[in-house]
Amino acid sequence: MGSITLKQVRKAFGDVEVIPGVDLQINDGEFVVFVGPSGCGKSTLLRLIAGLEDVSSGQILIDGQDMTQAAPSRRKLAMVFQSYALYPHMSVRKNIAFPLKMAGMDAAQQEARVKHAAGILNLTDYLDRRPGQLSGGQRQRVAIGRAIVREPSAFLFDEPLSNLDAALRVNMRVEISELHKKLATTMVYVTHDQVEAMTMADKIVVLRAGRVEQVGSPLELYRTPANRFVAGFIGSPNMNFIEGEPAARLGAHAIGVRPEHFAMSTTEGLLAGTVGVAEHLGSDTFLHIDLDNGSHIVARAAGEFPVHHGDRIFLTPQEGRVYRFDQNGLAL
């Protein structure tokens, strides 16, 4: 079991309120991602769940039991940090086994759990190496192994891929997703990278200034954002927002169109503009376009789309793919 329930959880540092009051249900076995810009409170919320920070008010229930005031060791949660925090003088085997040794588990049980975790994480051949002899991705797997051997009710990940290069981040993203399928254990994952959120999560929690803006599956947030903030944060590249006359025609303060939802032409369309930078990525081309109405947008075209810097271009939003927002940013 690994359900986690937050009831009006609030956190303040002195007079500064960073979590105004969060209600959230994380179900057993779910992969839940907290996402938002820097300073939105996602790591603080994770630390409150872990017991590394005291709540100012509210309740935290783990498997139905009130753990609001419980010490971290009593919560049956395992946390993996951005920093690997491995002991450089110890072997991989000893690093993974360390929490078990501290708990007083006998050597045979320690070895059995270490071998099991190493098998899951493809670390069996590296157990006698030291962290300095491993790649960044391997070191992060060792840190995850140290969490696995504790057999927690839930895993808490605090931006675990931030220290890795782009290629390793993609690989580790897949590996952690596969690990979730193998273990079928609740995972709560913090990131500022919405691509990680979209590709890994069963459920995404979008945070801004300590408040939950929207909770839903990746596709729910992509297709039906509750407001302009969520619409602009979910999706890569970001949604385009256009105000003025094009929005007024649709009875909105602003309209939003994702880069992939424009039909493009070199002869006619609802919106006209001039191509600036064209980012040719092979499979796709991202066009940075200055519209005649003063807006700047990004549109995605096929990789071989024949357009260059300074060309005139015409765009028409695809039917049913235009989002409308009022002056407060709420979806209409």
Cβ-proximal residues to 43 (8 Å cutoff; 6+ apart), any chain: 158, 159, 190
Per-residue model confidence (pLDDT) at position 156: 96
Residues 20-54: pLDDT tens digits? 999 999 999 999 999 999 999 999 999 999 999 99
Task: Please state, in angstroms and as integers, the Cα–Cα distance from residue 170 to each residue in 186, 192, 249, 279, following that order.
Answer: 21, 15, 42, 21
Q: Compute mean pLDDT per 10 residues along the chain, 332 residues long, and list them.
A: 93 93 96 94 96 96 95 92 87 94 91 93 93 90 92 93 84 91 95 92 96 97 97 93 90 95 91 93 92 93 86 93 96 95
Sorted by where each starts, the structural domains of the chain and their CATH numbers stand as 4-231 (3.40.50.300), 238-325 (2.40.50.140)
The total number of residues shown for the chain amounts to: 332
Per-residue model confidence (pLDDT) at position 199: 94
Tell me if 315 sits within 8 A of 289, measured CB to CB: yes
Task: Compute the CA torsion angle 170, 175, 180, 183 (nearest 10 deg).
Answer: -170
Per-residue model confidence (pLDDT) at position 275: 95
Tell me if 47 sits within 8 A of 77, measured CB to CB: no
